[in-house]
Structure 1
Amino acid sequence: MEEAMKSGPNRKYTAEFRAAAVEQVIVGRRGLREVARSLEMSDKTLANWVGNTRKGKALVKRALRPPVTDLEAENARLKQENARLRMEKEILKKAAAYFAKESL
């Protein structure tokens, strides 16, 4: 079975991992706690997945984003460049002020 992407309390699980875990409980008729323990995950998390599956809800919520147009991509690129240039300008101002003080 495919493993989770990272360990710890805020683990991220792949859709395949979630589906396989739920399948072990529903199709395999194994106990929820037994499956959760074997997968080293919270039984509450697995219970949520099983409950959502039984209700017909998706295991993974995916945010639908509209495709980015060429104009939007260009606008985002220009905003990033503008922010970078402003930062560079501020750094140069500070450097000029610093060196002006030293030369006095």
Structure 2
Amino acid sequence: MAITLAQSSLQNTLQEVPEDIRSWISSEKTTYFMMELNEKLGLREERVRIIPRLLLRLEVKDLHAAEFVDAISQELTIGPEKAKSIAIELKENILKPIEASLSDWDIN
């Protein structure tokens, strides 16, 4: 798994992300979806930050798309099949609408 960027580097790197990707990832629709997903998964307290943080790492290229399912599994301490189903939900609801932009940004 990739080494996580330090918080200060993360802020600088986030500024390099294309505006349409940043806007969508931080949109109200995406935020509400994340809240519903956290509720559905029963995530509470600090754990509600796990999936948004993984999406942010993906967005700034600190986490490779190929490692996304494994990262979900490790961070949430769940099995790979459950992690894969969460990743599919995230792909369909958050990533698919900006698929072309992500591809242009070299996130596949």
Provide the TM-score with structure 2 as the length reference.
0.31
Decide which structure has the larger Cα Rg and report it. 1
Q: Give me the TM-score of the superposition, normalised by structure 1.
A: 0.32
Higher helix share: 2
